[in-house]
Structure 1
Amino acid sequence: MWSHTKALYISCVIISELWLCSRAELFTAISDVEPLLETHKRIIDDLHYYIDKEETRLQVLKKHLNMYKQEHVKALEDVPNYLGNPVNAFTLIKRLTTDLDYIEDSIKKGTEYIKNITMTHEGVKYPTLEDLTGAAQALTRLQDTYQLEVSELAEGKLNGVVYREDDSSVHHTPMSASDCYELGRALYIEMDYTNALSWMMEALRKYKEENEPHPFSEGDILEYISFAHHLLGDSRTAMEWTKKLLEVDPKHPRARGNISHYQKAIDESLKKRRETGEEEEKPKRTKVDVLSENERLSYEALCRGEMKIPPEIAMRLKCRYLTENHPFLKIAPIKMEQMYIKPDIIIFHEVIYDDEIEHIKELSKPRFRRATVHDPTTGNRVPAQYRISKSAWLLDEESPIVARVSRRVRDFTGLSLESAEELQVVNYGIGGHYEPHYDFGRKGEQTSFGESNGNRIATVLFYMSEVAQGGATVFTELGLSLFPVHRAAAFWLNLHPSGEGDLATRHAACPVLQGSKWVSNKWIHQVGQELIKPCDLEYQEEGIIRQIPKPMPKSLS
């Protein structure tokens, strides 16, 4: 567009100069005027070209505007439900990052509109490319954990449920070719080539279905697909895709060079296999997993609700009203449900109320920071990919409601809060999760909570929201899944009576598939429990844990 615009500008300059240099002579001879008709025709052609391009550009901008307006109306109808859909959350971030860059590039620089739309407004939040990458990784985490197909996820199917636009209970717009392309590109940059390849294939399918301009070409998609195959160790397939790229764009600047590169890789691989006698190379893994394969399988199966606790445990579980621990419980007993025995894991129902929840949320939001984990070497708190959420800490002294919730913890646990930590409030993000971990400090680890109050003897976890899908608390050594129950609290002891850590309490927060998960937790320490939970003289090894059947991969079962 700009080359023709420039030509138009030059044509105008030429006319101006001719007029200034010879305006007194052109009219004196028709032969001198005749060449101006060629210039006149060129200007007509250039203006037609420029106007056509401007109209196309404006059509693209109008399409973006209409889509933004439609999505905004949907979002405002039910903000939590809309943003609780991970596809909606991802596309919102994309619209305010890469799409916004494209819009700005489509508008002439220097106009007042550019000044108004750019990220210079005080107090206005814009996501960053890091947010886009995080949202992309969250979608792949959901794919892996809940065994979602890319093609179904891109069309609005979450865990086998289709979310239609005419369904008033949910709000969803299928992903576009541009959405899939940017998601794939973000994963490619993060070197997750397996998932990048899947999303680029989906982008290619949608690109061919959508008859509209894009800020990228079919060749761009094909190049990513071919190079992802190469980086996964399959240069032969990369070669085939590059040949398809040349069919689409014979003058592609890198395609022929890539073919030479792939052929060299194929030859070197063949030579190596001949020398070593190895069989065909297997595709490379591109994701580093800190969990063992068995624990990963257990964790994901528990998140999907596919594993059940042993029958010999299940048949002994009971529900009852808690009336001990505090005199007040005699007149206001609490519903108590056993979820496991040894270690005892309890759900206390209706122990936090809606007005308390809203107050705690509002108090926490201004303080939210990225959730961190203990570095076992330094004891410092650091961010990590295996914990995606934001958290804040609330003191009893700053709010009578927070203090009231803490007193209630003392009542239903029967433990002293003399050395308890502040109330931690957590909201999980897109695909938010916390992979298997222990709440107590293990031997040899540096912890941020120090040693003066002893180790974390118990955990109380309040569920402060409904979660439509996902978000379970799972115990990977027990085969136990606790799905969030609004206004309830989970409780368990982290330590054996001897004070040694109970490895059977290893647990995780599963990724949130649909909805917004709010929790708060109170960690109770050993100091102050000397007369309530005295140490047992019998020593217990930290390493003794029970064995549960490990799930087989879905493809093998």
Structure 2
Amino acid sequence: MKYFVNCCKIFIFVLQLIAATSAEFYSSTAGLEQLYKTEVILLDELQVYVNEITQHVQALQSEIDAIRMEHLSAGEGIESYLTNPVNAFRLIKRLHSDWETFEGTVEGDTSRTNYLEAMAGHRQNLSFPTQDDFVGTAIALTRLQKTYQLDAAELASGMLNGVKYGTAMSWQDCFVLGQHLYALRDYNHTVPWLEQSMQLLIRQSYAEESASLDFMEAVMSYYQQMGDYENALSLVNYVLAVQPERLHLMEMRSELEHLITDGVKQGLLHETLRAPGDYHSSHEFRLYEQVCRGETRPSAKSQRELRCRLQRSRLSYEVLELEELHQDPFVVQVHNIVSQKDMNLLQKIARPNIQRSQVYAQDHNANETVAAAYRTSKGATFEYFEHRSMELLSRHVADLSGLDMNSAELLQIANYGIGGHYEPHWDCFPDHHVYLPDDRDGNRIATGIYYLSEVEAGGGTAFPFLPLLVTPERGSLVFWYNLHRSGDQDYRTKHAACPVLQGSKWIANVWIRQSNQDQIRPCGLQRDNEVSLPFKEFQ
């Protein structure tokens, strides 16, 4: 039970640390690396404290052992022991001065003070997660659950799609996650995490102690409020089996059995939680998730028209390895186009500069960018001439497409963190977009995405309307046109970054504008956008 109490104390301490800091880390793996370094330092600090108190404890234990040995000896004949003047002197001396000395050593022990002072300094100088990080991570886990249809028990055990990646979660981890999901009103995900928490708690050696049973009673109230009567009844039965004297639970059990028998559906789980027209309940969003899971793919007929080929470079003696992924709209992936050395350099250059990725404000009138929950990553922008490796990225796109890279936007390098994603969106601007006076290069005619790292699971680029999933293959480039020949938006090119399930996803985004591209990609004489119009308002 002491372990249970200590865990609660540690949790409170961690929450205090979270509340006292203000950075954001969950949205990129580069940010998480800072937190890992913080924990390494804190672990060393705690080890120093433990070593110091261990030495103190060992010294006190030695004194205790010596006195107990003397008491064991005295126990054979107390009167004989106490009538011995040496023994009497030693007993009086210990109680007169030794025990004051023991108290003084405990009172004067500086280990605790040193540790707390060191921790106070670390809180000022090291990286700690914020409440937003904590909530963002909880949301990311549920996003992965929903997108990839993961089982809470497997996820808690460190399994991702049948592969063991990490250590198992404790019952406290599962409870805190469930508690935060409850506060976020995500009741459908609250239930499995509370259920997993209770199952893990029941397996503990202290599960039948009163404090644990009290805790289970508190969880029962969560289940009742949500309308999950089956789980509530299961906990009631467990607690009563351990402590039948909890008579107040008898009435609750009877009420729950009655509700289950009558099939009553009430509580937070059964209320309408999403507003009508919510995008996350739409057919389009479900289609996106199906593509991310690999359940929906392009037709076999359309796949037969695709081919892999070698294309001689326009700008060098290189030969490009092209794989056609889709014909109309044309999507192509170029393999092995970026070396491992250049990928490492690009990541190294970007790390100190990345900030939370932004999106254009929904009204598109102010031309302002903001952080949004539907895009969780960190990124930084660079001029192509800043480094040779960046110039190579520009050259490769020009080589592949023939487009004028003088009309390209700044290179963006981005890193995705826990469950990092970018929900379905178009790269080109809508018709009502207001261009600033100094932004005369027009709309985004084409997009290139370089994959700068291998992603172990998830993290693909999904095109829901094609439906196509591009695997983030390290060192490759994916390229497509966002506009029809007429210059109209091709609504079929809506795409998304599927949540990263395992690994660190690094990409480089290249966006090329329309200006000066008319000689390279001439406009058609007639509008050719009819084929994509059905996807403009697709729901």
Same fold (TM over 0.5): yes
Equivalent position of 2:500 in the other structure: 512
1:273-292 residue CA offsets vs partner (Å, 9 max, x unmatched)? xxxxx997981354665245
When residues 332 and 246 of structure 1 are mapped into structure 2, their CA distance, relative to the original with a 3 A threshold, is: closer
Q: Does 1:523 align with 2:511?
A: yes
Secondary structure in structure 2 of the residue aligned to 1:468: strand
Q: What is the aligned counterpart of 1:198 among 192, 202, 227?
A: 192
Runs of at least 5 residues in structure 1 that lack an aligned partner in the other structure: 1-52, 65-82, 164-169, 271-277, 551-557
The structure in which a higher percent of residues are helix is 2
Measured after TM superposition, the shift of residue 154 of structure 1 is 0.9
Residues 1:185 and 2:179 are matched in the alignment: yes
Q: Is the 8 A contact 1:197 1:229 kept in 2?
A: no
Structure 1 residue 476 corresponds to structure 2 residue 478? no
In 2: Cα distance, 1:464 partner to 1:416 partner = 23
Alignment equivalent of 1:129, drawn from 131, 136, 141: 131
Corresponding residue of 1:321:
310
Aligned residue pair count = 434
TM-aligned CA deviation for residue 496 of structure 1: 0.4
Residue from 80, 96, 113 that aligns with 1:111? 113
> TM-score by structure 1 length?
0.68
Q: Is the 8 A contact 1:200 1:221 kept in 2?
A: no
Paired with 1:198 and 1:302, the residues of 2 have a C-alpha distance of 25
Matches within 5 A, 1:219-238: 219-230=214-225, 232=226, 234=227
- Where in structure 2 are the equivalents of 1:536-551 lying within 5 Å? 536-541=524-529, 544-545=532-533
Mapped to 1, the partners of 2:243 and 2:372 lie a distance apart of 42
In structure 1, the partner of 2:350 is: 364
User: Partner of 2:94 in structure 1?
Assistant: none
Q: TM-score, normalised by structure 2?
A: 0.70
CA distance in 2 between partners of 1:486 and 1:445 (Å): 34
Kept in 2, the 8 Å contact 1:197–1:224? The answer is no
* CA deviation string 1:478-537 (max 9, x = no partner): 011111111000000000011111000011111111111111110000012021112222
Q: 1:382 aligns with which of 367, 370, 373?
A: 370
Letter in 1 for 2:161: N
Tell me if 1:350 matches 2:350. no
Distance 1:334 1:141, change over 3 A: same
RMSD between aligned residues: 4.2
Query: Relative to structure 1, is the Cα distance of residues 93 and 194 closer, same or farther in structure 2, using a 3 angstrom cutoff?
Result: farther
Structure 1 residues 283, 332: closer, same or farther in 2, change over 3 A? same
> Of residues 256, 270, 288 in structure 2, which corresponds to 1:283?
270
- Aligned match of 1:418: 406
**In structure 2, how many angstroms separate the alpha carbons of the residues matched to 1:410 and 1:526?**
14
Deviation at 1:155, TM superposition (A): 1.3
Distance 1:448 1:427, change over 3 A: farther
Change in 2 beyond 3 A, CA 1:279/1:469: closer
Q: CA deviation at 1:398?
A: 2.1
Aligned counterparts of 1:459 and 1:483: Cα–Cα separation in 2: 16
CA contact (8 A) 1:321 1:335 kept: yes
Does structure 2 conserve the Cα–Cα contact (< 8 Å) formed by 1:461 and 1:520?
Answer: yes
CA distance in 2, matches of 1:488, 1:397: 21
**Which SS does the other structure have where 1:195 is aligned?**
helix
What does residue 169 of structure 2 align with? Answer: 175
- Tell whether the 8 Å contact from 1:336 to 1:347 is kept in structure 2 after alignment: yes
CA distance in 2, matches of 1:183, 1:304: 24
Asked if 1:153 corresponds to 2:155, the answer is yes
C-alpha distance in 2 between matches for 1:93 and 1:191: 33
Matches within 5 A, 1:290-329: 290-323=279-312, 326-328=314-316
User: What's the offset of the Cα at 1:159?
Assistant: 0.7
Once the 2 structures are TM-superposed, how far is the Cα of residue 408 of structure 1 from its aligned partner? 2.2
Task: Name 1:408's counterpart in structure 2.
Answer: 396
- Contact 2:450–2:478 (8 Å) recurs in 1: yes
SS in 1 for 2:270: coil
Shift of 1:110: 7.5
Cα shift at 1:366: 0.9
